[in-house]
Chain A
Amino acid sequence: MDDLRPGDPARIGGHRLVGRLGAGGMGVVYLGRTDAGALAAIKVILPEHAGDEDFRARFRREAEAARRVDSPWAVPVTDADTEAERPWIATEFVPGPTLSGVVARRGPLPVRSVMALGRLLSRALAAVHGAGLVHRDVKPGNVLLTADGPRLIDFGIARAADTTALTATGLLVGTPGFLAPEQVSGSTAGPEGDVFSLGCLLAYAATGRTPFGGGAVDAVLYRTVRAAPDLDGVDDASLRALLEHCLAKEPGERPSAVGLDTLIPQDVPAGAAAGWLPEDVVRLIADLSIALLALPGIDATVTDERPGPPRPGSTRRRTLLFAAGGAVLLGTGVFGAVRLTREEAAPRGKSGKSWVIGVHADLTGPGAAAGRAQERGVRLAVDRFNSRDGHPFRLAVKVLDDRGGAGRSTRVAEEFTRDPEVLAVIGPTGDAAAEAALPAYDEAALPVLTVSALQIAFPARANGSFFQAAPSYAALSVPVVSRILPRTGVKRLGILINRSGGQAAYQAGYTANLMARDLTGATTHPRVVPPGTTDFGPVVADLLAHRRDAVFYAGDAAGAARVAHALASLSFTGPRMAQHTVMGAEFLERAGAAAEGWEFVAPFTHATAPAAATFAAAHQGRFDAEPAAWSAEAYDAAELVARALAGLVGGGADGTGARATPSGDGGSARPTRPPRKAETVPPTRSALTAAVAATRYEGISRSYTFDKDNQSLVGRHAHLYRVENRRYRYLGPAPEWKS
């Protein structure tokens, strides 16, 4: 799933949108959630089609027909608005992997499963055809698998431009390799075409190959029309006969969908059939479904609207309303998270207790990109830990979303502190959230490690359980000036604080000014602009009028882009740096060519850093994506906690090295009887806090040692990036200050 984009609507019909599932020629498919909490896939038609009256009439007809499709094996249409300015249709969202995804990972399915698939999908198709529709794109990518059976999706509505292939003979609706010969020849496809496609799909499930081969589209289409299907490897005679029947070149020779069902032997499961797939495939489906559900935004709890700034007079009421709504919604979120945790924690061939590492993240708010990356980092660390033998305990992950808000963050912290299985928390993502969460965590002495809430200091607390596992905004100013000022010819540094960037900007800019003067003796020309400033021309002109050799910008991304344009228009080519909070797509998009050459000192490493190579490969394998910023840092933090835990309870290779943790540190003495062999007693939270504080760890992003007094990171190891060809290129470790 992808993030919503700036132009995307926040709501459609009764759905709040949480992400993009895909996009095609006809429109965009969003993931949304109804007010009642149900997930839905919502296809929204592009304006150019919506304006076409013929199209709209067809869409209206098809949507109406689709609502009549009634089969447990076809995903139901839940809602539609065919008269909206941009018409849309919503179907139930099934959190299962596609058949193609499962076969690609696991290989062909056994005969019995293919037969069951044939039976259940033929019933789905019968319902589609019974409603007067033709699917026209039956293929493995349009079948979702769940433990109790397949689900056919995307039947026949608004098909035309969505799935077309350009061939020598023109446009083609459908997917080559799964098309019927009559479709290839340009005839209108009827229900028989769907049966042919189902035959191709079943052959694919049985062999892992499409029956008309791969390669050039025209070659595939030629074989579809002319050649016999390649069914090598289908040794079961009845399955082979069934496939050949479906794959008849003449539409009239194929069975109907209803008829196909009767051709399948009676002992093949029908109905809600557990056991229709082999055990390992069910596990794979469960894993993939969990991964899908765990994707940010899906289990996120939401209020209907973002609470805006309070208005005088009604503030109290609004606040109370928000608090009440938040509590209820948080409840559902917690439920979802716990459910996921249980599934994930379920022992798979391993015994032992699971202890929980919480992820307190902004998954849907302004810091969602960082929060999601951190969730993935923690999951990887926990997977890795659990895959190693010799630990007397297993780790599980519980994720709660604070949406970047202070109020929700407090409640998330309270929820984690109340859960006795949670031994440590990675997060929060943002500064305001961290500030709000701190009292609850500290009171419970629950160790919490943030990697991205980097205010220079949070109020000191009694139990010292809050760790900042990355250099603060202020500390990063040292590598910033170390990068800029030793360069030849750079003696005068212009510093611009844009207060739209809040405390992060203020602390970075103010400290850079101090460090530049104190460390290097350079002269600075500091400028500050109020929040909301949009015209940076005069300030930038003033910086250059004072003959500054280099510029450091501390503020938000929008302002950075404006400053970049202003500097470019004055042909300034000296060193230009901005604080890491600017890094993101927005700066690149808004600044365009003016972004070239800008540099950043960031706390996060990059997939291309040599130390991150193994991590990046593991991330790619698990999430099918390169790790995003902050993922490795969260991995480090979780790994650090895991090591501290293992150190406390012992980690003998036979798994019996458990020992009671020292009591007396938290006042709650533990029973003195020795723990039973099979059960390791988890350490107290305060014991773990002390262990984390004392842990030294060489991580992917940096080495970790915490200051004894305020639990902040010792050292200022950071990473250097530069914009080249409209991308952030990783240059390597940021320079250390050499006095």
Chain B
Amino acid sequence: MDCRVPLPGNRSILPLALIAMVLTGCSSTADGSGEAEERSAPANGGAGAGSGGSTGAGQSADATEAFRPDTARLPRTPAAARSLIDRVIADADSFGAEVVKRSPYESDPATWPVIDEDCVWQRRKPADSVLATLTRSFEVPAVAGRGPLRLAAVVTVHRTREDATWEMAESIEESMRCPTQKLREGELIGPLLAAALLGGEATQTHSEDSLSETGQYQSSELGGPHHYSWQQAQNLQFTVAVTGKGAKGRTEREVDELVVQAQSAMLARLESAVEKQS
């Protein structure tokens, strides 16, 4: 689907047309393109056709599980959660040939990213509902005329599905509260716009809930503004997320495709890690 709306001029007030593009998930990132959608289409294909629809009341994610889990395979302890994360989280190959690990590669598993009152990202101790969480960092290295395209993948295992749905809600709140965010000293993202689609809404069939945030990225090291893209999806008690930050010579499409690629890979791995084996 292509429904990009050109952004006329550089105005402080975001035009509704741009909001339209983002909120309806019309950007390529929210399109669910790639194998994830195709793969899960049989499981959810009937939702759009038969579930009655509505004038606005969303299809409840309760009713649309993307796949049927084997409850015995769902982690209940931090150790089991960590083991599952190791099997699910993206590695460099998940993105494609050009992507390599960055150093440090893995975050301290005792922390996760939190945005504070001043809209600055910090690594803090995770909430009690979190069984385990892990962040990995990657990049497409700089080549002549093109800067490094930095990527990160995050997988979080909550104790319950409800806890995971609250993480999604909080992610939306963060985007509303902090349209501009400071990643670390010298790195800013914003203005950001976030689209959220529950499973069954629009073309979203790959997860119970999906959030995609796009905006601009500026860095004292890499200049900018460049394209910024973030995708987060929730299934069961799990959330998986990927961020991509553009650089000089990197196109929006390039960033988005890498993000979608890794997100799809993680969702597929998650499914095979917990689905019922017949």
Contact = CB atoms under 8 A, between A and B. Distances in A.
A322 to B, nearest CB: 5
A306 B58 CA distance: 17
Contact of A506 (B13, B43, B196): B196
Contact of B169 (A458, A507, A514, A530): A530
Interface stretch (B62-70, B108-116, B242-250, B255-263): B62-70
A528 B169 contact: yes
A518 B12 contact: yes
Contact of A312 (B20, B67, B169, B172): B67
Nearest to B169: A528
Nearest to A526: B176
Interface in A312-328: 312-313, 315-316, 318-319, 322-323
Interface in A392-407: 403-407
A504 B49 contact: no
Nearest to A407: B49
Contacts of A430: 53-56
Contact of B55 (A315, A370, A495): A370
B10 to A, nearest CB: 14
Contact of A530 (B1, B26, B165): B165
A406 B154 CA distance: 34
Given A524-B176, A528-B173, A499 B23 contact: no
Interface in B36-58: 42-58
A367 B68 contact: no
B196 to A, nearest CB: 5
Contacts of A405: 49-53
B137 interface: no
Interface stretch (B77-85, B88-96, B98-106, B197-205): B197-205
A502 B57 contact: yes
Contacts of A506: 23, 172, 196
Nearest to B276: A312
Contacts of A310: 43-47, 50-51
B241 to A, nearest CB: 17
A319 B16 contact: no
A430 B13 CA distance: 29
A93 interface: no
B95 to A, nearest CB: 28
A323 B49 contact: yes
Given A500-B60, A502-B59, A503-B201, A514 B54 contact: no
Interface in A413-434: 429-433
Contacts of B24: 455-459, 503, 507
Interface in A421-469: 429-433, 435-436, 452-460
B119 interface: no
Nearest to B6: A709
A457 B26 CA distance: 9
A454 B44 CA distance: 25
Given A430-B53, A455-B24, A457-B24, A531 B202 contact: no
A581 B56 CA distance: 8
B21 to A, nearest CB: 7
A510 B55 contact: no
A510 B3 contact: no
A527 interface: yes
A409 interface: yes
Name which of A370, A431, A506, A531 has the most chain B CB atoms within 10 A of its CB. A531
A167 to B, nearest CB: 49
B162 interface: yes
A404 B53 contact: yes
Interface string B167-190: 011101100110100000000000
A184 to B, nearest CB: 53
B214 to A, nearest CB: 14
A556 interface: yes
A316 B52 CA distance: 17
Given A319-B45, A433-B53, A474-B16, A531 B58 contact: yes
A430 B59 CA distance: 13
Contact of B56 (A309, A431, A460): A431
A473 interface: yes
B14 interface: yes
Given A499-B196, A524-B176, A531-B60, A474 B19 contact: yes
B61 interface: yes
Contact of A432 (B54, B67, B179): B54
Given A309-B64, A457-B24, A511-B19, A366 B57 contact: yes
Given A309-B64, A407-B48, A474-B23, A453 B55 contact: yes
Interface string A524-539: 1111111110000000
A319 B23 contact: no
Contacts of A473: 56
A475 interface: yes
Nearest to B4: A460
Contact of B58 (A404, A457, A503): A503
B131 interface: no
A474 B68 CA distance: 35
Contacts of A322: 46, 49-50
A175 to B, nearest CB: 42
A649 to B, nearest CB: 34
A319 B49 contact: yes
Contact of B62 (A455, A517, A532): A532
A514 B52 contact: no
Contacts of A170: none
B53 to A, nearest CB: 3
A556 B59 CA distance: 12
Contacts of A475: 16
B70 to A, nearest CB: 12
B64 A530 contact: no
B202 A435 contact: yes
A519 interface: yes
B266 interface: no
A287 B56 CA distance: 35
Nearest to B21: A457
B55 A367 contact: yes
A241 B54 CA distance: 62
Given A497-B172, A502-B201, A456 B3 contact: no
Nearest to A509: B176
A308 B55 contact: no
B59 to A, nearest CB: 7
A260 B176 CA distance: 80
Given A366-B53, A495-B176, A530-B169, 5 more contacts: A432-B48, A457-B23, A504-B56, A525-B177, A530-B162
> Which 7 pairs from chain A and chain B are nearest by CB?
A502-B58, A504-B56, A432-B53, A530-B165, A310-B46, A457-B20, A307-B50
Interface of B: 1-3, 5, 12-14, 16-17, 19-21, 23-24, 26, 42-65, 67-68, 162, 165-166, 168-170, 172-173, 176-177, 179, 194, 196-198, 201-202, 209
27 contacts: A306-B52, A315-B44, A318-B46, A366-B54, A404-B53, A406-B49, A430-B53, A431-B54, A431-B56, A457-B3, A459-B26, A460-B2, A460-B3, A497-B172, A501-B57, A503-B23, A506-B196, A511-B23, A513-B176, A514-B176, A517-B179, A524-B176, A526-B173, A526-B177, A531-B165, A532-B165, A581-B55
